[in-house]
Amino acid sequence: MKKLLFILLLCATTAQAQLRFGIKAGANFADLDGITLDTKMRTGFHFGALLELDLPGPLAIQPELVYSSQGAKVNAAAFDDIQYDYLTVPVALKLYLIPSVLNVELGPQFSFLVNDNNAFNPGDSSSFDFAALGGLGLDLGNHLFLQGRYVLGLTDASSNADVKNKVIQLSVGYKF
């Protein structure tokens, strides 16, 4: 019994050392690809929480739960800007090029629409968006990190048109 308790305690300590919880926030620069209106990037924001789990070698996996404000700035006076607010679940596979310092990340992102302001086509927004992400991360020590990502929508943001989200995200975060 003592051996089993020792093994469980050892596994819990090892697992805790390989799993880090964190928070992040930052700016979004979003646009819509395929829209018929004249648009440019809309500045928004994102914030959320993450877990980073070390894998063998220079790999880690980082699932997140993030609130993200996206859409597009419309250059036509007759229309308001298009705003999509999502609850996103990115799952990034991270490859550390410089151990515990510099990483590249790739993975899918699952987004669930929580709010939309689309005067161009009201009620036309898709409730789910699937995307691919790629980016760079820099761990600064003292638990701080910087992150830059490009997120490209693979499914339509609109149920009636071939319109896809594209977002540049710049983040600052803290891992506990």
Residue 21 in this model has a pLDDT that exceeds 60: yes
Neighbours of 57 (CB within 10 A): 9
Q: Is residue 10 part of a domain?
A: no
Selection from 93, 105, 92 nearest residue 66 by Cα: 92
Q: Is residue 9 part of a domain?
A: no
Q: Is residue 169 part of a domain?
A: yes
Residues near 125 by Cβ (< 8 Å), separated by ≥ 6? Answer: 84, 113, 116, 118, 157, 158, 159
Selection from 39, 21, 32 nearest residue 131 by Cα: 32
3-class secondary structure, 36: coil
Q: Of 3-7, 52-56, 71-75, 166-170, where does mean pLDDT reach its minimum? A: 3-7
Q: What is the pLDDT of residues 67-123, one digit of tens each?
A: 999 999 888 776 778 899 999 999 999 999 999 899 999 999 999 999 988 765 656
Domain containing residue 166: CATH number: 2.40.160.20
According to DSSP H, which parts of the chain are helical?
A: 2-18
DSSP 12-29: HHHHHHHEEEEEEEEEEE
Pairwise pLDDT comparison (126 vs 129), residue with the higher score: 129
160 membership: H or E segment, kind and range: none
3-class secondary structure, 75: coil
Pairwise pLDDT comparison (72 vs 161), residue with the higher score: 72
Mean pLDDT along residues 54-61:
95
Mean pLDDT along residues 43-60:
96
pTM, 2 dp: 0.84
Instruction: Count how many domains the chain has.
Output: 1
Name the band, by pLDDT with cuts 50, 70 and 90, for residue 5: very low
Q: Is residue 5 part of a domain?
A: no
The angle formed by the CA atoms of residues 60, 62 and 66, to the nearest 5 degrees, is: 165
Q: Is residue 80 part of a domain?
A: yes
Q: Is residue 2 part of a domain?
A: no
What share of the chain has pLDDT > 70, as a percent?
86
pLDDT at 4: 47
Cα dist from 118 to 79, 83, 111, 161, 173, whole Å: 9, 6, 17, 13, 31
pLDDT at 8: 45
Q: Is residue 115 part of a domain?
A: yes
pLDDT at 57: 93
Mean pLDDT along residues 124-151:
94
Q: Is residue 11 part of a domain?
A: no
pLDDT at 52: 97
Range of the domain at 139: 20-175
Reading the block at residue 171, the tokens are 């983040």
pLDDT at 176: 93
